[in-house]
Amino acid sequence: MMKQVYVEDISKGAYLRTVPIPTPGPGEVLVKMMLATIMPIDNAMNSTPAFPPPYVLGPQGAGLIVAAGTGVDKSCIGRKAVVYSGLLRLTERTWQGNWTQYVARKFEEIYVCDQSISYEQAAGMYGNPLTAMGAMRTAERLGTRGTILSAACSEICKKIAMMHREKGIPTINLVRGETNVAILKALGEALVVDVKAPGFEAELKMLIDKYQPNVFIDSVGDEVAQKTFEIMPPRSTLVLFGGLGKAATFPVPVLETVVKEKTVTGYFWSLEDHRKPIAEIKKELDVVNADLKSGGKRFAAPVIKIYPLEDFMLALKEQPKFASQGRCLLKLNEY
């Protein structure tokens, strides 16, 4: 028997239940899950019916292949595996989460990572790294000559900023609080604006006038984001990337947008993922795998806290306050 975090009725929320360990079918492997990353979507799926229940929480995690069904090369047994629910084609409105002690998945829908990569890092190989890579591609497709990032101290935005820095593209990073300013400065970011500081608007306008950024990747959707978009140059593009703000709405100034030929679009990596063959996604994971194997300069993330499975509700509650510091994980089995 095994335990898993299960949502049966969205009005009642998730609970811990005990069920039989699955048996891998043809083409499947059984993965003993070790760690799962706690993400903002987990809180959303515990309170919002984005997908019809029932389902297990948790989009991504890592574990050990312990059994294989017919048609699968048994040499994979004993290898570390990264599991992500995004590869199950979420556009079909189904969800098979990973906050469970064992999962049976099609072998083609998992990623076998290098054995030298820790479970702590393997558990986060999908979401943030591939989202950052996709956001970078989006900025380049839009012809960025400079990019603005809100929630810039988030793990995803740190990675996006690093990629911009490597390509010599100026990035204006919007953060909240002096602590976050110091964090990004220590990482090598030169253009950091504390939007909670008095008079930040003048500093932001000065940087926009100087660097003429034409892409704004916004993860917040608040008044600061709205004002930032208003003072950006003509033909700028706003990429709505998330809704961390309390209202999570974005009233676009119509006349300003039309007259200055500005554009508003959206980006969601999981939807981009669904349009790709799995083999193409795995090529991107090969990039992440190589980086983590060589030390993780781009894609490694600090692990702030690991919660036992029984404390999943505490983990959901605390994850947001640690988001700018690093990753929180749920421990599913001893390893």
Per residue in 199-220, pLDDT (tens digit) is 999 999 999 999 999 999 998 8
Q: Is the pLDDT of residue 11 over 50?
A: yes
Q: State the DSSP H helix or E strand holding residue 286, giving kind and residue range, or none if neither.
A: helix 278-293
pLDDT value, residue 270: 61
Domain boundaries, the chain: 2-124+273-331, 128-267
The string of DSSP codes covering 35-87 is: EEE--HHHHHHTTS-SSPSPEE--SEEEEEEEEE-TTS-GGGTT-EEEEEGGG
Cis peptide before 54 (omega within 30 of 0): yes
CATH class of 128-267: alpha beta
pLDDT classification of 295: cutoffs 50, 70, 90: very high
Architecture of the structural domain at 2-124+273-331:
Alpha-Beta Complex (3.90)
SS3 label, residue 180 = helix
pLDDT value, residue 91: 45
Per residue in 62-106, pLDDT (tens digit) is 999 999 999 999 999 999 999 987 544 444 545 678 999 999 999
Q: Are strands 327-331 and 303-308 parallel, antiparallel or unpaired?
A: parallel
For residues 35 and 99, what is the distance between their CA atoms, to the nearest angstrom?
8
SS3 label, residue 134 = helix
Residue, of 86 and 38, whose pLDDT is higher: 38
Mean pLDDT of 164-176: 96
Q: What predicted TM-score, i.e. pTM, was given to this entire model?
A: 0.88
Per residue in 244-277, pLDDT (tens digit) is 655 556 667 777 788 899 998 888 766 666 677 8
